[in-house]
């Protein structure tokens, strides 16, 4: 599939969309601004490479474009548009629907609600995201990332970077994940965990990718007796 778009100058975009009121995006430099008009459905995982093929028809010459969806955006798959060397911005003037959402080296702002089927993952501190409405999602993972979200009441919120609160009041923190997550999250078996002393258990690494795979498979990544810190 290929989407048609309109390319605007910064002045034209400011006149149409008053970009300065989107504080997250206002200070981010862009080498192109493109607009997708109306409600948009993308029938594939939205990544750095699929942006090139789906939007730019394989001829992407920019690295830090601002993509404005003037309507709702539905992605039939996950979203992970940031990558080393490319730092796009995405502004959705409506609601967002997707299977998963990873915010890394990118800047994303959604003016409506977000409906995420499986998981949100905010990773590292080179980008930022703001969703003005409610983020409806089963799991929120965050690791030292600027994530301005309003989680739905049923969301389980995990800080896998440290054991303090930043943008959220967390259910679980990095310091106790080995006690509340099933061993598969750490690519281990229960017997291996049982044989570890306390120091070794502290060095076990949380695998966010495996966590997401478990969630998407329909299984719980948490132990049955996991108790929230809230």
Question: For the chain, what are the domain ranges?
Answer: 6-160
- The pLDDT of residue 85 is 65
How much is the pLDDT for 43? 94
pLDDT at 58: 83
| pLDDT at site 56 | 85
Burial category of 38 from C-beta neighbours within 10 Å (exposed 0-12, middle 13-18, buried 19 and up)? exposed
- The total of other beta-carbon atoms located within 10 Å of residue 34's CB is 19
Which segments in the chain show pLDDT lower than 70? Answer: 1-2, 84-85
Model pLDDT, residue 113: 98
pLDDT attached to residue 1: 62
Q: Which runs of consecutive H residues, i.e. helices, occur in 51-197?
A: 177-180, 190-194
Predicted local confidence at residue 154, as pLDDT: 95
Helix (H, G, I), strand (E, B) or coil at 216: helix
Q: Give the per-residue pLDDT at 187.
A: 96
Catalogue the E-assigned strands of the chain.
Answer: 6-8, 32-37, 40-42, 46-47, 65-70, 73-75, 78-80, 89-92, 96-103, 107-110, 114-123, 128-131, 135-136, 139-143, 146-148, 156-159, 172-173
Longest CA span, the chain: 64
Rounded to two decimals, what is the model's pTM? Answer: 0.94
172 neighbors 142 (Cβ within 8 angstroms): no
């Amino acid at each position: 599939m290929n989407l048609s778009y309109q390319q605007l100058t910064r002045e034209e975009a400011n006149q149409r969309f008053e970009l300065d009121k989107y504080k997250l995006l206002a200070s981010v430099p862009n080498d192109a601004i493109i607009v997708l008009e109306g409600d948009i459905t993308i029938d594939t995982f939205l990544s750095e490479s699929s942006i090139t093929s789906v939007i730019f028809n394989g001829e992407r010459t920019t690295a830090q474009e601002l993509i404005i969806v003037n309507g709702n955006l539905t992605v039939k798959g996950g979203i992970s548009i940031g990558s080393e060397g490319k730092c796009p911005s995405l502004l959705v003037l409506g609601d967002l629907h997707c299977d998963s959402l990873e915010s890394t080296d990118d800047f994303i702002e959604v003016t409506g609600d977000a409906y995420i089927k499986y998981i949100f993952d905010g990773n590292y501190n080179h980008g930022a995201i703001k969703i003005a409405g409610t983020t409806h999602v089963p799991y929120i993972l965050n690791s030292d990332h600027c994530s301005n979200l309003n989680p739905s009441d049923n969301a389980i919120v995990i800080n896998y970077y440290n054991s303090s609160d930043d943008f959220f009041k967390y259910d679980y923190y990095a310091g106790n994940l080995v006690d509340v997550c099933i061993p598969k999250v750490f690519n281990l078996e229960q017997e291996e965990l049982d044989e570890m002393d306390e120091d070794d258990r502290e060095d076990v690494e949380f695998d966010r990718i495996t966590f997401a795979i478990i969630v998407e498979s329909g299984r719980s990544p948490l132990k049955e007796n996991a108790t929230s810190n809230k």
